[in-house]
Chain A
Amino acid sequence: MNLWLIPFFPLIGFLLNGLFGKRLSKSLINMFAIGSVAISLIYIAVLLANIWPINTPYVDHGFTWIQSGFLTVGFDLVVDRLSAVMLLIVAGVGLLIHIYAIGYMEHESGYYRFFSYLNLFMFFMLILVLSANLLLMFVGWEGVGLCSYLLVSFYFLEDYATGAGNKAFIVNRIGDFGFSLGIFLTVVAFKTLDFGKIASAVSTMPVEAGISTVTAITLLLFVGAVGKSAQLPLYVWLPDAMAAPTPVSALIHAATMVTAGVYMIARMSFLYDHAPFAMHLVAILGVLTAIFAATIGMAQMDIKKVFAYSTVSQLGYMFLGVGLGAYSAGIFHLMTHAFFKALLFLGAGSVIHGLSGEQDLRHMGGLRKVMPITCITLAVASLAISGVPGFSGFFSKDAILSAAYAKSQWMFWLGAFTAGITAFYVFRAFFLAFFGEYRGHHHPHESPFIMTVPLIVLALLSAGGGFIPVLGWLSPQYPLMEHESSVAMGISAAFGIIGILIAAFIYVVRPALADRFRTAAGPLYTLVANKYYVDEFYFAFVVRPLEGISRFVLWRGMDETLIDTGMVTGLARTIRGWGSLLRQLQSGSIRNYATWVLAGSLLVIFVLGLVGGGR
């Protein structure tokens, strides 16, 4: 079986739509875009069936890509139990979102451009998932970042979209800088980038107590994960990335790309297992991000922003999981999150589509009557993310919180509390949109079947996804920690249900309460609604100084003064100055020249006499 065929199909789709899309009909574009992903998914299914059960990693050595001294990097792809899960998530959810996008993007210009970017994204994401060495993973890693940029800036005539695209790209530079340093350090330390070889090399090393090479590598790679997966302090790009069309938010900024950091840590678990310090940091940052983003989500009025902060928060959970060593729990949550968060976004997209682009929760309300399918599916997604027992989010969140309960009490309580906040703000958005009276001025309508069918499929997955035995499936690769705790389960579920009840009470039973709470909270509400002023802080302390340095030191100082004035025009001016001085010699008068000849000969004679030449 050729593994390279998996990402190859979306690449073909990208090339066809990207090169000829302008002249193709919509149905042809759809066929290429959706067909390529569908073929890829079918191929993955056939492949997995063929190599079932994947007890040993199935490696496909492609060509040798780089051969330099001791370093050999090949185009090597690998399918093991971890990447099998990821492949199915990426291709499966990706396919559903592609189908949904047909309906969502129907009236948009740049239709072919959208789908070619989406296919390109699938290509890079599959490369990232399949790669068997760090460098190839980095190719996919950067590629999905590029596609994220292209798609965030999709409405490139709007300032906010290009600004958000730039922000996403630039913030990710910080993370990717760390990631590339991590790769360099890996080359230095292990002389190879192949996952298998690094794993066998590191298995003979002791677990590092302090901070040494392995810890440094893992921390640097984690910097990359912090950028890509929008964790504190680099999360700021993700909420802005909501400028992208909603299917993009669902696919890239919820289900797949942003989870790449979690996947990377699970993939590199052999290194992280040897770096307890890095693991601890991952877990702490994860749980802090979870609660930090969740509190911001409580006060957002843009439905997509609510879900964006929720994504940041849920990614924090995943990092908490992998940081505690519960890799399979993290991946499990990654999967269920892909289902319910994609569904939340697609549902939000359906609402936005039905309201002709309205995103503000204040201008929604009462939509459950006109959008029954969207309403029910979104309810399922909300129940799943809230961790209501029986729904998918419950099982995966419980797996993470059980691990926290066993290892670190304060992380557990913070995580459980976050679960309550999560339930509250998701249902707040849900109730604001679907209950009460309609407060907008559009004519809401239910979305077409092409959009609602993916919603229904995702709703089924969100409801039943918890019964997919991911933990057991991954147990040969990541030993299961036997600490399923009914206490943890009960507490987190209780927090979730309490959160839902509070939201229901405030926004359905007594709608007037919300305003009273807002005024009562006063400055606290303002602080949260303005996202703790983190963007303003970054702007004042990072963007402005950088801009100042660029403008006054690099541009005015280096470029204009030193290079332009000093070197380029300076050189020309110096030469011209000397030239106009020497030009005075060219008088045109022959007698003048004769005098110079005389003076010259006298000088030669004089010098010869002085040094005693000629003898």
Chain B
Amino acid sequence: MVPLSWYLLLSAILFVLGVAGFVYRKSVITVFMSIELMLNAVNLSFVAFSYELRRIDGHIYSFFVMVVAAAEAAVGLAIILTIFKNRGTLQIDEVDSMKL
């Protein structure tokens, strides 16, 4: 049987990859995907703990996270499409009109 720590380690690695992608990648799509990666890393932790502790809470949480992620994907992709329509680019550094 695979011990809990392995799951957690995998979850942590995935999360850090997500964070790194979120901070360093230049394409909006990649940044978006990095967020999904972080969410799924957290999901993995939830499910692993749920299995280990024989409790249902973790599963329910992970469903919630999935629902949020699905909604976020819909809204996020719509925003990204609009950005591309308006600006013709998905380079994150060029979307900076919030600057004073």
Residues of chain A at the chain B interface (Cβ within 8 Å) = 583, 586-591, 594-595, 598
- 17 further A-B contacts with Cβ under 8 Å, apart from A588-B100, A598-B22, are A583-B100, A586-B99, A587-B96, A587-B99, A588-B97, A589-B93, A589-B99, A590-B31, A590-B95, A590-B96, A591-B23, A591-B24, A591-B92, A594-B22, A594-B23, A594-B31, A598-B23
Total A-B Cβ pairs within 8 A: 30
Instruction: Find out whether the CB atom of A588 lies under 8 angstroms from the CB atom of B23.
Output: no
- When chains A and B are docked, how far (Å) is the Cα of A591 from the Cα of B31? 9
Residues of chain B at the chain A interface (Cβ within 8 Å) = 19, 22-24, 31, 92-93, 95-100
- When chains A and B are docked, how far (Å) is the Cα of A589 from the Cα of B31? 13
Instruction: Write the nearest CB–CB distance from A582 to chain B, whole angstroms.
Output: 10
- When chains A and B are docked, how far (Å) is the Cα of A587 from the Cα of B100? 7
Chain B residue with minimal CB distance to A601? B19
Name the B residues within 8 Å of A594 (CB-CB). Answer: 22-23, 31
- When chains A and B are docked, how far (Å) is the Cα of A375 from the Cα of B96? 98
Instruction: Find out whether the CB atom of A586 lies under 8 angstroms from the CB atom of B100.
Output: yes
Instruction: Write the nearest CB–CB distance from A52 to chain B, whole angstroms.
Output: 89
Instruction: Write the nearest CB–CB distance from A205 to chain B, whole angstroms.
Output: 78
Name the A residues within 8 Å of B92 (CB-CB). Answer: 589-591
- When chains A and B are docked, how far (Å) is the Cα of A598 from the Cα of B15? 12
- When chains A and B are docked, how far (Å) is the Cα of A598 from the Cα of B24? 12
Name the A residues within 8 Å of B95 (CB-CB). Answer: 590
Instruction: Write the nearest CB–CB distance from A29 to chain B, whole angstroms.
Output: 68
Name the B residues within 8 Å of A598 (CB-CB). Answer: 19, 22-23
Return the 7 tightest CB-CB contacts between A and B, nearest first.
A588-B99, A588-B96, A588-B98, A590-B92, A594-B23, A589-B96, A586-B100
Name the A residues within 8 Å of B23 (CB-CB). Answer: 591, 594-595, 598
- When chains A and B are docked, how far (Å) is the Cα of A595 from the Cα of B24? 9
Chain A residue with minimal CB distance to B23? A594
| 12 CB-based A-B contacts, threshold 8 Å | A587-B96, A587-B99, A588-B97, A588-B98, A588-B100, A589-B92, A589-B96, A590-B96, A591-B92, A594-B22, A594-B23, A595-B23
Name the A residues within 8 Å of B93 (CB-CB). Answer: 589, 591
Name the B residues within 8 Å of A595 (CB-CB). Answer: 23
- When chains A and B are docked, how far (Å) is the Cα of A594 from the Cα of B31? 10
- When chains A and B are docked, how far (Å) is the Cα of A594 from the Cα of B95? 14
Chain B residue with minimal CB distance to A585? B100
Name the B residues within 8 Å of A591 (CB-CB). Answer: 23-24, 92-93
- When chains A and B are docked, how far (Å) is the Cα of A591 from the Cα of B100? 16
- When chains A and B are docked, how far (Å) is the Cα of A586 from the Cα of B19? 21
Instruction: Write the nearest CB–CB distance from B42 to chain A, whole angstroms.
Output: 12
Chain A residue with minimal CB distance to B26? A591
Instruction: Write the nearest CB–CB distance from A578 to chain B, whole angstroms.
Output: 15
